[in-house]
Amino acid sequence: MLMEISIDNEKCKVPMGCRQCVRVCPQCVFQLHLKRFERFLEMPLEDWELRVYFPDMCSGCMECVKICPLHAIKVRPAKVQKGEVASAT
Amino acid sequence: MCHFCTQHADGGKWFEAAQNYAAKMYQFKKKAAKAKEAEYIEKKKAELQKMREKGALIEEGEGWYMDDRGEFYVKPGAALDLDIMVTDLVQEVIEAKALNLDELPMLKKKAKSFMDKYHTGQVVTYEEAQQMLEITWPIGLMECICRRERRGMYNDPMAHTCFSLGVGLYKWERWPETFRGITFLSVEEAKERLAYFNKKGCVHTLWTFYTPYIGGLCNCEYPTCLGIRGRVDYGIDGILYKGEYVIVPIPDRCTGCAECVKFCQFGAMSMSRSRNKVTVNMQKCFGCGQCLVHCPNTAFKLLEREKALGVRDHW
């Protein structure tokens, strides 16, 4: 079943400072990426953003939800419309 | 002998041919782009416009385009960041796999075409990696971008696993994000580090920056490495090529300790419990040789992929 993971970026402002979800995820679903990128400059920690990169790999074990100190991650089964195939796997 | 060997080397393995590390390959690209800047770009732009009118361009983005044969090209004069382009293309494939199966083959082809031309990888064995370190200069050890992004190993000495090779390294000061925490190593030091990673169970992979210029030797692991994951889980063929060897088990020597199963990053090994011997899925084997390194009884041998007729086309 395809899981829907939502990250509240309003709550989780500096994911690079915490990194708990990225460390704990057994399926390596998350990715930290630079939302603002400038050449030849080192970006401050605030410019890293957490996003879901492999959503179809999520097993729904809820480890990230348990460990997040800010309660910014929500995991639930994706809504499927009638007659629609949710996942190829 | 993969297709890179026939294209970019004279009779040997392509990553053991010194011309693929040469400064010329790197400089040439830059100089050619600069010298021809005005007229070349104008000419190409006119060509592009013609193709656009004909409808031969399938897709166009900032700095790149794709023609009707599904070939990916970077626009002349465009500055494209390879890492960001890779992540974006793989993300398209991942989304299509979950939601839009019709477009999946096309997107896979697009990603393969891009990787083939600009930023491809190949698995090499420990001995081949040692030879690569002997050919090239300078060598730097830097933080792995995959581990930083997908495991949060930022400013972490454990994540310093990627060797950066060759002249591309001289611009390290200008790119603080890319060459994070770089230390320059002599060949002996680099070999020591390589032996350490080999003992740890990392897979050695080479990476090109504008194929065939080889500029990186990484020590990867599943599932953190985007190359291994993209190939194994999502079937993007061009992102990481298989090595020059396949592994063959020797059942008489196997004692069933299952040490090799622990170290296989590609899911090719399994234990046959009734026989208490290892079985190898040779279609899945990438030929990295990690099982051979960690086997206490040397119950494997490396066979050249050329000689294994069933899997000689599996690159």
The dihedral of CA A30, A32, A33, A39: what is its sign? negative
pLDDT score of B43: 78
Domain stops at, among B239, B266, B288: B239
Which residues are CB-contacts of B32 (< 8 A; sequence separation ≥ 6)? none
Tens-digit pLDDT profile for residues A24-79: 999 999 999 888 878 788 888 899 999 999 988 899 999 999 999 999 999 998 87
Confidence of residue A88 (pLDDT cuts 50, 70, 90): very low
Query: Is residue B12 assigned to a domain?
Result: yes
Chain A residue with CA closest to B180: the answer is: A42
Which residues are CB-contacts of B294 (< 8 A; sequence separation ≥ 6)? B201, B259, B260, B262, B263
B101 has pLDDT over 70: yes
CA distance readout (Å), B166 to B54, B95, B146, B149, B193: 42, 36, 21, 24, 18
For chain B, strand residue ranges (E) read 57-61, 64-67, 72-74, 121-123, 139-142, 162-165, 183-185, 203-208, 214-220, 245-249, 269-272, 277-280, 300-304
Average confidence score pLDDT of chain B: 88
What is the Cβ-side half-sphere exposure of residue A13, based on CA atoms within 13 angstroms?
4
Query: Is residue B152 assigned to a domain?
Result: yes
**Nearest-by-Cβ selection for A53 from B91, B101, B104:** B91
**Residues B216, B227: Cα–Cα separation, whole Å:** 13
> Percent of chain B at pLDDT above 90?
49
Task: Decide: B202 and B129 in contact? Cβ < 8 Å.
Answer: no
**Partner-chain contact A28 B148, CB within 8 Å:** no
pTM: 0.89
Task: Decide: B132 and B165 in contact? Cβ < 8 Å.
Answer: yes
Tens-digit pLDDT profile for residues B42-89: 777 788 888 888 877 777 888 788 887 778 888 776 777 788 888 889
Q: Rounded to a whole number, what is the distance in Å from the CA of A66 to chain B's nearest CA?
A: 18
**Partner-chain contact A22 B150, CB within 8 Å:** yes
Residues A6-24 have a mean pLDDT of 92
Tens-digit pLDDT profile for residues B125-160: 999 999 999 998 889 999 999 999 999 998 888 999
B40 has pLDDT over 80: no
**ipTM of predicted assembly, 2 dp:** 0.86
Report the CATH fold assignment for A3-77: Alpha-Beta Plaits (3.30.70)
Query: Is residue B315 assigned to a domain?
Result: no
Which residues are CB-contacts of B53 (< 8 A; sequence separation ≥ 6)? none
Domain boundaries, chain A: 3-77
Structural domain of B184: 121-239
**Nearest-by-Cβ selection for A56 from B84, B98, B150:** B98
Tens-digit pLDDT profile for residues B161-201: 999 998 888 888 888 888 888 999 999 999 999 999 999 99
Query: Is residue B200 assigned to a domain?
Result: yes
